[in-house]
Structure 1
Amino acid sequence: MAVIKSILPAFSRGEISPLVQSRVDLESYRTGLSVCENFQVMAHGVLMRRPGTRFIASAKHADKAVRLIAFEYSVNDTYILEFGDLYMRVYRDGGQILTDEDEIYELATGFGEDQLFELDYAQDERTLYIVHKDHAPKKLVRNDHDDWTIADVSFTSKPSQWTAGNYPQRIGFFEQRMVLCATPGQPSTYWLSKSPTGTAQDLRLTNFGLGTNADDALKFTTTSGMAQEIQWVVEDKHLISGTTGGIRSVGGAGFNTPLSITSIQNRMQTKEGSAPVRPVKAGDAVLFLSRNRKQLHETRFTFEKEGWLSPPISRASEHVTGPGIREMAFADEPDAVLWMLRDDGQLVGVTYEPHEQVLAYHRHLIGGRGMDQDWAEVESIACVFEGQRRALYLAVRRKINGEARRFIERLDPLFRTSENQTRADAFFVDAGGSYQGESTGQVTGFGHLAGEQVDILADGAVLPRVTVAEDGSVTLPNGATASTIQVGLPAPARVVPLEPLYQTREGASKGDLKRPVSVTVDLFESGAIEVGVEGKGRERKPLRPSELPFGAAEPLYSALVKVKFPSGHDLVPRVEIAAREPLPCTIRAIIPEMGV
């Protein structure tokens, strides 16, 4: 038997579909994974365990869904808005906005629970314009952290067709005009407000009076042999709209000519139909979903074509979108990650760094149990810039003590010792919280997890799981005390590389019996991991140093960790690596040895 060693030095395609896991001719096979759960692929191609989520507050209603919307007023004043049944609440920098009387700040909106995910919106400085077919367009104005107003837009002139049940459903801006479109009665019609020429901004955005001058408001309808219902609009070099029939561009008659009633081009660019899911801008590209909400597309302008192309970019990982994607959010700092929310509540990340040739898919199971799944159900997501990163907020539904509970949570920053974080600061639990102060054996404030088993990291040491008391207190086991404590729901991570392939005298090794001999995992600043052959058990590595005092925290490992396997052959031997303890884990490379 010959023993052959290979190295997997990059994972830049992330998890790929089972349908292509025999396509050894594809680049995605060489840099792909069979399973990537709760690991995030970085721009360098390495695997880094995703941080935990911090509990911020319970949603107002445990039995009603909420939707999260980002609002960025200035560099230092960014917000997440919790829209629920007829109300709105506000979050900033990981906390909930309170009134001067220490009560939760809340604003009545008029939008019911069944309308929340039909809302479309666009921000202009301190105003968020919101549209829905059953409501006159509204403007939400931020005056201060705890001072917001909402009212119907007062139009200088508006189309007579806009009535109850037939208001515009899509909104955007283009060349400093407001774009309103897609009423139920005219789903392929665009209305653009008066241009800013010689007009105060507030007045021109509300003036939809048609005329013959270049700066007058205008209206036009797409005519085609197929359905062209407008699903979204985005400002780019042209006004880009996703319709049920394809991608269209609208602009002036010349490339640098402003759009006006006397200069307009409305062109079909590609025939990839769109879903009514808000797209995201990522650099010079727009990322959008196909009509079935399962295929991710990338559209961008190309000078060679003098138009837009919209190729699919998720075909090799088509399975990760599951039953369909219903919401997307883009975090461009520190690494560019497109977050997508599946209908079943699972979170999907796509590390999108085209200039680094990284397009990697990873799935995230948020800790806890849903009503019908073994993972907590994420119901809404939004990203907002805070400090030096764009933070991901989540609205999560869990089953706690047999009842549905809804929480607002925020994904923690990536763990980096280069930013003065230590092992004690590691936060790899979900719906969790931290304590820092005088050494203690009990922490409080976890009433939202009463009755649940939680992971504990105490001064960097992993303690046995305990159950949160009814009053929300957590008592450290075995009489332990600590001054830095992390508590929350377990969120284990798991990765399974694809079967390594070799060339033998008889040809490719695919389909031959092989014996997994060993695997070496190149770890960087990581806690202990569990390693084994998939389906055959795992072994904890590295082992706790024998000289380490009882109760003391192990070091973080930056080392090559080798695990030897017992004898046994398999047609598809795959290594499995798991990080179950609430500690960081970064995998730089995986080096398997196989007997063939």
Structure 2
Amino acid sequence: MARTTLIQNSFNAGELSPLMAARGDQARYASGCRVLRNMLLHPHGPAFRRPGLRFMGPCADETAPPRLVPFVFNEEQAYVLEFAPERLRVWWRGGLVLGGDGAPLAVPTPYAADHLPTLRWCQSADVLYLVTPHAAPRKLERHGHADWRLVAVNFGPRVATPTGLRSTGAPSGTRQHRYVITAVSVDTGEESLPTAELSVTAGTPAEGSAVNLAWTAVEGASEYRVYKAGGGASVYGLLGTAATGETYADTGRTPDFAEGPPEHRNPFEGTDDYPSSVQFWQQRLCFAGSRSHPQTIWASRTGCYENMDVSRPLQTDDAVTVTIASETVSAVRWMMPARKLLVGTGGGEWTLSGQGSEPFSPLSCLLEFQSARGSAELPPLAVGDGVLAVQRGGRAVRNFRYSLDVDGYSGADQTILAEHMLRGRNIVDWAYQQSPHSVVWCAMDDGTMAGLTLIAEHQVAGWHRHDTGGAVEALCVVPGPPSDPAGGDELWLVVRRDVNGAQRRYIERLDPAFESDTPARAFFVDSGLSYDGPPVAALGGLDHLEGREVSILADGWVHPPRTVAGGRIELDRPASVIHAGLGYASDLVPVTQEFVAGDGPTQGRVRRVGRARVRLYRSSGFKAGPDADHLREELFRTAQDPPGQALPLFDGDREVTLDARLGTQGGLHVRQDDPLPLTVLAVISEVEVGEA
């Protein structure tokens, strides 16, 4: 048999579809894996072990899955909102925000359990706007760290309408003169709704013989606008403004009918009119997709997010209503701001903008068709300079980016090399963890997770699968505290677990990636807790894992597993730094490397890998074998190492001897199932290949 040595020094193409098994000619094949489980990817090429999930606390309502919503005012003030059925709790820096009574803050909401999957939101500073087809739009206002208020959105101007409009003098005559007045906010320039019409019977106004008007002042108004009807019709034109005071004299000026007063409009009053999507764009708050008008988009007045009023004739800052014209009725499922407003419907993707270089307005509105892929109901993610969206049917994730070549948006399929990740299952929730490793985390409907390491500018797009010993039902990402030396974004999850014969739902948080030089700081357990202090011989506080066997790391030494009883575990001896939680296995199986031997291609020929070298970085042990059923632990401890103490982390090559049989796949399976770190830089294999 011919013998050769092959090296795979990059794994950042991630786990490849079994349909790629014969595609050694594909450029990214050589950087792929047959299995990448509970492992993450460095853009440089190495694969490293996923850190553990730290237990934060039980869910508010363990009978139904909540939604996790990020609320990010700035890096210092980043909260996780837990929307449970009919109530909301707030998490901050690893703990629940407490109310004035010392109990966890709970804000009542109108959202039942079946409303939560359809909840959508967008944020502006301290206000989070929320929509669902099941309830009228609302907004969550943060007035203080422990002062959160969920209130209905009252559509209309924030400045009050003037009152007490009256005539204080007019020339004699029999003509009817009709007036309305509006107030203009000194802070925002927003115009109020007009007063009720005042009809004055008088002669023709002129200098020295005017129709004099008066009204009651409005707090916060900088000026008042006076409109007058003309031509015998109920059409008003701007007559003039009163910059100060609460009086105006009509001296016969002709109204400007190019400017009329605002007319009140609320498109969301009926139960079938509640929008299903909300987004900010170009200083407007946009809503879309009600049951009665599934293809319609409503945009607020410029800078006035809760004002859907329009004027007659229309003005450039008026609210906008636009409906997508298509052959089929395809509901708007999401909106995302970019160079233009990207709009995803069940039938395709569109952009909304102004015409040419003009800003978007009711006088300049352009809908352009981009693709006929169709979008799933899951909201998209902004990743780098692109937008990730799930294609209709849930079988593909597409990265929509602006292309100068087509002067539009095109969506490359990010699952084309790993289509098996979405085969027979759908993404139910996802979030983007930009720092430190640029990972899109996906909660699947079978309870597992999938991750996509995506760095488009470096052509890195690799999928990896994750399981946690439970079912991941929801997740979100918020920035970590700037003072945290680990830095980066935090991934928060809702995990359903079977504990002591019952189903429990927990809030858990992905620990930062392991970067310490001390194995005692390694946290590689799920639903885990830590102790750091004077030596103790027992660890309590594990009630949430009652009756479960837990994996333990004590002072960097792998302690034998224990079963939690009475919320406690007993140790063989005292330890100062203890991590305990559910164990999990991390697996790496490189692709079968193909090459051309002297007698031709080796694909499909029998082969055997008898020896291999695994190049490691800051690692502490692993198991290896030809497949998952024939793994053998690689011993790092020598006779000179004191028993029961942590070994230093290892950098370098470890040689592995495999009891491998002949086959057409022949390769190496690497596993770490102890609560210790593992980073694989490369796999160097000695391959024997049969004759052609």
User: TM-score under structure 1 normalisation?
Assistant: 0.94
Deviation (angstroms), 1:568: 2.9
SS of structure 2 residue aligned to 1:480:
strand
Equivalence for 1:94: 94
Equivalence for 1:382: 476
User: Are residue 220 (structure 1) and residue 322 (structure 2) matched?
Assistant: yes
Equivalence for 1:69: 69
The CA distance in 1 between the partners of 2:73 and 2:386, in whole Å, is: 24
Q: Among 252, 258, 273, which residue is 2:359 paired with?
A: 258
Are the equivalent residues in 1 in contact too, given 2:625–2:659 (CA < 8 A)? no
Equivalence for 2:349: 247
Deviation (angstroms), 1:334: 1.2
The CA distance in 2 between the partners of 1:432 and 1:561, in whole Å, is: 30
Q: Among 313, 316, 336, which residue is 1:234 paired with?
A: 336
The CA distance in 1 between the partners of 2:474 and 2:361, in whole Å, is: 38
Deviation (angstroms), 1:303: 2.0
The CA distance in 1 between the partners of 2:50 and 2:660, in whole Å, is: 34
1:119-145 Cα offsets, whole Å, 9 max, x none, are 111101101000111211000011222
Equivalence for 1:201: none
Q: Among 410, 417, 437, which residue is 1:335 paired with?
A: 437
The code of the aligned residue for 1:165 comes to D
The CA distance in 2 between the partners of 1:535 and 1:512, in whole Å, is: 22
The code of the aligned residue for 1:187 comes to P
1:297-348 Cα offsets, whole Å, 9 max, x none, are 0101122221111121211101112411111100111121111111111111
Equivalence for 2:625: 532
User: Are residue 465 (structure 1) and residue 561 (structure 2) matched?
Assistant: yes
The CA distance in 1 between the partners of 2:64 and 2:608, in whole Å, is: 52
1:527-564 Cα offsets, whole Å, 9 max, x none, are 10001001441121143121111211122111101111
SS of structure 1 residue aligned to 2:420:
helix
Equivalence for 1:437: 533
Equivalence for 2:269: 162
Q: How does 1:427-576 map to 2 (within 5 A)?
A: 427-470=523-566, 472-476=567-571, 479-566=572-659, 568-576=661-669
Q: How does 1:385-424 map to 2 (within 5 A)?
A: 385-387=479-481, 388-417=487-516, 422-424=518-520
Deviates more, 1:58-67 or 1:562-571: 562-571
Are the equivalent residues in 2 in contact too, given 1:134–1:166 (CA < 8 A)? no
The CA distance in 2 between the partners of 1:325 and 1:113, in whole Å, is: 19
Deviation (angstroms), 1:260: 0.8
Deviation (angstroms), 1:73: 1.4
The CA distance in 2 between the partners of 1:165 and 1:436, in whole Å, is: 55
1:424-457 Cα offsets, whole Å, 9 max, x none, are 1100000001001111110111100011000111
Are the equivalent residues in 2 in contact too, given 1:16–1:28 (CA < 8 A)? no
Larger Rg, first or second structure (1 or 2): 2
SS of structure 1 residue aligned to 2:318:
coil
SS of structure 2 residue aligned to 1:355:
helix
Equivalence for 1:371: none
Deviation (angstroms), 1:78: 0.3
Are the equivalent residues in 2 in contact too, given 1:135–1:165 (CA < 8 A)? no
The CA distance in 2 between the partners of 1:500 and 1:542, in whole Å, is: 27
The code of the aligned residue for 1:106 comes to A
Unpaired stretches in structure 1, ≥5 consecutive residues:
197-203, 369-375
Equivalence for 1:38: 38
Across the aligned residues of Structure 1 and Structure 2, the Cα RMSD in angstroms comes to 1.3
User: TM-score under structure 2 normalisation?
Assistant: 0.81
The CA distance in 1 between the partners of 2:89 and 2:345, in whole Å, is: 32
Equivalence for 1:57: 57
The CA distance in 2 between the partners of 1:34 and 1:358, in whole Å, is: 17
User: Are residue 189 (structure 1) and residue 282 (structure 2) matched?
Assistant: no
SS of structure 1 residue aligned to 2:29:
helix
The code of the aligned residue for 1:378 comes to V
The CA distance in 1 between the partners of 2:617 and 2:321, in whole Å, is: 58
SS of structure 1 residue aligned to 2:131:
strand
Equivalence for 1:199: none
Equivalence for 1:14: 14
User: Are residue 48 (structure 1) and residue 48 (structure 2) matched?
Assistant: yes
The CA distance in 2 between the partners of 1:121 and 1:160, in whole Å, is: 18
User: Are residue 278 (structure 1) and residue 379 (structure 2) matched?
Assistant: yes
The CA distance in 2 between the partners of 1:296 and 1:210, in whole Å, is: 39
The CA distance in 2 between the partners of 1:458 and 1:532, in whole Å, is: 28
Query: Aligned pair count?
Result: 574
1:381-410 Cα offsets, whole Å, 9 max, x none, are 100001331110000001111210000000
The code of the aligned residue for 1:577 comes to V
1:223-248 Cα offsets, whole Å, 9 max, x none, are 01233311100111111111111110
The CA distance in 2 between the partners of 1:459 and 1:553, in whole Å, is: 7
The code of the aligned residue for 1:315 comes to I
Deviates more, 1:542-551 or 1:167-176: 542-551
The CA distance in 2 between the partners of 1:363 and 1:316, in whole Å, is: 14
1:178-207 Cα offsets, whole Å, 9 max, x none, are 0011011110001100013xxxxxxx1111
Distance of aligned partners of 1:172 and 1:457 in 2 relative to their CA distance in 1, 3 Å threshold: same
Distance of aligned partners of 1:26 and 1:215 in 2 relative to their CA distance in 1, 3 Å threshold: same
Are the equivalent residues in 2 in contact too, given 1:294–1:325 (CA < 8 A)? no
SS of structure 1 residue aligned to 2:121:
strand
Equivalence for 1:269: 370
Distance of aligned partners of 1:431 and 1:535 in 2 relative to their CA distance in 1, 3 Å threshold: closer
The CA distance in 1 between the partners of 2:272 and 2:18, in whole Å, is: 45
Deviation (angstroms), 1:503: 1.1
Deviation (angstroms), 1:67: 1.0
Equivalence for 1:315: 416
SS of structure 2 residue aligned to 1:216:
coil
The code of the aligned residue for 2:291 comes to P
Deviates more, 1:351-360 or 1:427-436: 351-360
The code of the aligned residue for 1:381 comes to L
The code of the aligned residue for 2:533 comes to G
Q: How does 1:107-122 map to 2 (within 5 A)?
A: 107-122=107-122
SS of structure 2 residue aligned to 1:278:
coil
The CA distance in 1 between the partners of 2:279 and 2:16, in whole Å, is: 35
Equivalence for 1:124: 124
Distance of aligned partners of 1:458 and 1:253 in 2 relative to their CA distance in 1, 3 Å threshold: same
Equivalence for 2:192: none
Distance of aligned partners of 1:101 and 1:3 in 2 relative to their CA distance in 1, 3 Å threshold: same
The CA distance in 1 between the partners of 2:70 and 2:537, in whole Å, is: 38
The CA distance in 1 between the partners of 2:282 and 2:577, in whole Å, is: 52
Identity among equivalent positions (%) equals 32
Equivalence for 2:172: none
1:559-591 Cα offsets, whole Å, 9 max, x none, are 101111236311221210000110111001111
Are the equivalent residues in 1 in contact too, given 2:430–2:443 (CA < 8 A)? yes
Deviation (angstroms), 1:101: 3.5
Are the equivalent residues in 1 in contact too, given 2:9–2:682 (CA < 8 A)? yes
1:3-58 Cα offsets, whole Å, 9 max, x none, are 21111010121001111211111123211101100000112121010100100010
The code of the aligned residue for 2:683 comes to I
Equivalence for 1:200: none
The CA distance in 1 between the partners of 2:329 and 2:667, in whole Å, is: 47
The CA distance in 2 between the partners of 1:492 and 1:313, in whole Å, is: 26
Are the equivalent residues in 2 in contact too, given 1:530–1:577 (CA < 8 A)? yes
Deviation (angstroms), 1:161: 5.6
Deviation (angstroms), 1:100: 4.0
The CA distance in 2 between the partners of 1:240 and 1:543, in whole Å, is: 54
Deviates more, 1:161-170 or 1:84-93: 161-170
The code of the aligned residue for 1:340 comes to C
Are the equivalent residues in 1 in contact too, given 2:155–2:266 (CA < 8 A)? no
Distance of aligned partners of 1:567 and 1:75 in 2 relative to their CA distance in 1, 3 Å threshold: closer
Equivalence for 2:484: none
